[in-house]
Amino acid sequence: MIKNKFTKLLMLWNDKHNKRQMPWKGEKDPYKIWLSEVILQQTRVEQGWGYYEKFIEKYPSVFHLAKAKDEEVFKLWEGLGYYNRCKNLLFTARFIVEKHNGIFPSTYEEIIALKGVGSYTASAIASFAFDLPYAVVDGNVFRVLSRFFAIKSAIDSKEGKQLFSSLAQEYIDKKQPGKYNQAIMDFGATICKPALPLCYSCLLHGVCEANQIGIVNYLPIKERVLSKKNRWFYYFVFRCKNQILIHKRMQNDIWQNLYEFYLLESDESLKWTDSFVHQWIYDQFGIKKKKNVEISKIFSQQLTHQIIKGQFIEVKLNKIPSVLKHHQWIEAKELKNFPFPKFINQYSVITANQ
């Protein structure tokens, strides 16, 4: 079965292709793992890397950190923000020294009881340091699982969180839980990326359900997407002969039940060039042949609580890629019969040459 291949293929990718380097990878000292996880809460890896190295150099053990002056530790933390993390860090270091003689707790129940430690951090420490079979569930894990299994449950809903936590636990490699947890996070960070996943070169793409039906860039689903103030929509207007791909917006979001072109939503602006478009199309669909590409100017629309910005990228294909055959393709002349949001209607493709 396809599902049975997930863990096997992920671990194979990790062994043969995972080149991601971080100073805490492979670490077995629970103190250092805990420190790295606390630093990485609300912090990008690139930013947290340097802080981690400075902390380890100045406080190589939990005893050193527990004895440090508050002002000294807060000064070293300066710039990371969310200072309550630093406060909890000091409290927990002193608790471990005073109550556990400096020996880090070794069971999941004891670890999650520590101040400032949630389920994700507890799972990371338990699996990395003590090889306990507790699956981590972060943004990378949500994304990988939702795409591989084509799950449309919202990752930020109560039901969705329960579903993904259960799924993550079901597929963890129980013999190598720490290695598996690091592998799925690395995979999400380097291959199954948010806006620009490397689907065609992905070792799992042949059995990834979202890839098979061409909905990778629509997953994962979030309920609270409406809270975003600025959103970037990049619409790919795929044309094949006289047909155009369209998609009906069904999720609980703006423009529900209206139609759109193939959407790539990004948290930040992307600088599209002809070569970038061709590379993206290759990474997504494996299309190598030269395609006619036209990139529009940046359009914007002010909604009540959001600003939508984006571009339209017209791509003329010689044939419809297999992963896009599941989408709706209509004759270009039929576009006027479908309801589109204002943001799309302002782009001349709707009325030009029809």
Residues annotated catalytic, as ranges? 37
Q: What is the DSSP string of 104-163?
A: PP-SHHHHHTSTT--HHHHHHHHHHHH--------HHHHHHHHHHTT--S-TTSHHHHHH
What whole-number distance in Å separates Cα of residue 308 and Cα of residue 301? Answer: 5
Query: Are 314 and 277 spatial neighbours (Cβ–Cβ below 8 Å)?
Result: no
What whole-number distance in Å separates Cα of residue 34 and Cα of residue 254? Answer: 40
* Residue 294, SS3 per DSSP: strand
Backbone angles phi, psi at 232, to 5 degrees: -110, 120
How many CB atoms are located within 10 Å of the residue 44 CB? 8
What whole-number distance in Å separates Cα of residue 250 and Cα of residue 255? Answer: 9
| Residue 269 neighbours by CB under 8 Å, 6+ apart | 232, 309
Residue type, 249: R
| Residue 288 neighbours by CB under 8 Å, 6+ apart | 282
**Strand bridging mode 292-295 / 259-260:** unpaired
Write the CA distances from 81 to 57, 95, 253, integer angstroms.
21, 23, 31
